[in-house]
Amino acid sequence: MRIAISGAGVAGTALAHWLHRTGHTPTVIEQAPAFRSGGYMIDFWGVGYTVAQRMGIEAQILDKGYQIESVRSVGTDGRIRAALNAGVFKHLLGDDFTSLPRGDLAATIHTTIADHVEMIYGDSITGIDDHDDGVRLTFAHAGPREFDLVIGADGLHSNVRRLVFGPDTDFEHYLGCKVAAAVVEGYRPRDELVYVSYAVPGRQVSRVALRDDRTLVLFVFRDDSPEVADPRAQLHHRFADTGWECPQLLAAVAGVEDLYFDVVSQVRMERWSRGRVLLIGDAAGCISLLGGEGTGLAITEAYVLAGELQRAAGDHRRAFAGYEKRLRPFIEAKQASATQFLGFFATRTRFGLWFRNLAIRAMNLRLLTGLLADSVRDDFDLPDYAI
């Protein structure tokens, strides 16, 4: 089938990989003018890691990844208040674990399809006409085209979801936090293979050293309003007087053109498909950026969708139903657990910060690491579609 995919992020590139591998003709449409790498740091493990192994890209991911050794919470003076040895996660998850920028993972997947899949950049879908024999798409710049299916893999603020299912306000549930991330050049100090964070009630800033003398900076803060206008002003208002390295970090970020800024939200929908259109990844069931596993889930969803299409011999109704039946309980459980992470990234009170640091120190004890098992292990039976 001819299958249009809106979005060239992790979900879209992974789906294009599996669709091409199973004999379909995917076309990826991306509104950005070129493929984008980099982005905020993610931890990559679980079923998504297993799918990446089946894609044959584990070695490349490990090469681009970072084996973080410690997670530190520091005070205003920079002294360590609590530290977690990252070996705790190795103990729970084994060796199938790494950390890397989200866009670098997408770029790794992209290398598997670059010479085989049509990629359209600098354009977006403006109309979706779903009829008996296919779907007619109109674009902001290109002429109309016919496809058999359309997949929205275009993230939290999905354009396809808006065109087919309705406005964002019907599905996005704001969780009361905002995030900003940027990669800065030549920042000092550097702490190699250490995730360093500083927090006051309702706000947290973190940094992690990257290769080539770069540093990834992440800001998280609570805010009652989901308004995202003027992000640099919002950051300055929230962090200018926060202490620690915040003035230097704000100054470094001020010179960065590519600043990521967004709300922390979840997407909840009664159905993920309508006719010949299906949503995957954050477009359908975003667990929130702070949930910790959205990227792995997106890769898993791409694999399952391609597998269900193959099992259904091209019957998209049967494939879409099987896809949703298999994945919805898993995604909803992840969404429920993800809300618990808000307290870690944007603790409300000083007592909460004290207790969080106590918990970080306690997690180094092997007898207590079992308490983390349910939150990091995936309760999902990944099918083997032999594709």
Contact 7, 292 (CB under 8 A): no
Is 57 within the bounds of a domain?
A: yes
pLDDT tier, 362 (very low <50, low <70, confident <90, very high otherwise): confident
Find the CATH number of the domain harbouring 63. Answer: 3.50.50.60
Contact 266, 288 (CB under 8 A): yes
Query: How far is it, in rounded angstroms, from Cα 202 to Cα 190?
Result: 25
- Adjacency order of strands within the sheet including 2-6: 118-121, 25-30, 2-6, 149-152, 277-279, 273-274
pLDDT tier, 173 (very low <50, low <70, confident <90, very high otherwise): very high
- How many CB atoms are located within 10 Å of the residue 73 CB? 21
Chain segment 110-165, per-residue pLDDT in tens = 999 999 999 999 999 999 999 989 999 999 999 999 999 999 999 999 999 999 99
pLDDT at 86: 83
Instruction: Give exposure, 2-22, as e/b (b: 16+ Cβ within 10 Å).
Output: ebbbbbbbbbbbbbbbbbbbe
CA dihedral 260, 266, 269, 272 (to 10 degrees): 50
Instruction: Give exposure, 177-195, as e/b (b: 16+ Cβ within 10 Å).
Output: bbbbbbbbeebeeeeeebb
Chain segment 265-285, per-residue pLDDT in tens = 999 999 999 999 999 999 999
Query: How far is it, in rounded angstroms, from Cα 363 to Cα 72?
Result: 13
**Residue 2 pLDDT > 90:** yes
Task: Look at 78-92, 315-329, 355-369 and tell me which has the smallest mean pLDDT.
Answer: 355-369
Cα–Cα distance list, 206 to 24, 40, 151, 179, 249 (Å): 42, 11, 35, 11, 10
Is 340 within the bounds of a domain?
A: yes
Contact 299, 14 (CB under 8 A): yes
Average pLDDT, the chain: 92
Characterize the bridge pairing of strands 125-131 and 273-274.
unpaired
pLDDT at 190: 96
Chain segment 89-125, per-residue pLDDT in tens = 777 777 888 999 888 999 999 999 999 999 999 999 9
Is 220 within the bounds of a domain?
A: no
CA dihedral 289, 290, 296, 297 (to 10 degrees): -70
Chain segment 13-44, per-residue pLDDT in tens = 999 999 999 999 999 999 999 988 767 888 89
Best CA proximity match to 220, nearest among 172, 174, 262: 262
Task: Give residue 130's domain range.
Answer: 2-172+265-374
Q: Per this entry, what is the length of the chain?
A: 387
pLDDT tier, 370 (very low <50, low <70, confident <90, very high otherwise): low
pLDDT at 342: 77
Helix axes 102-110, 10-21, angle to 10 degrees: 20
Is 252 within the bounds of a domain?
A: no
Is 382 within the bounds of a domain?
A: no
**Is the whole-model pTM more than 0.85?**
yes
Is 231 within the bounds of a domain?
A: no
Contact 132, 259 (CB under 8 A): no
pLDDT tier, 373 (very low <50, low <70, confident <90, very high otherwise): low
Query: How far is it, in rounded angstroms, from Cα 272 to Cα 286?
Result: 12
Contact 175, 223 (CB under 8 A): no
**Residue 375 pLDDT > 90:** no
Chain segment 75-94, per-residue pLDDT in tens = 999 999 999 998 887 777 77
Average pLDDT over residues 197-202: 96
Domain count, the chain: 1
pLDDT at 257: 87
pLDDT at 368: 58
Is 195 within the bounds of a domain?
A: no
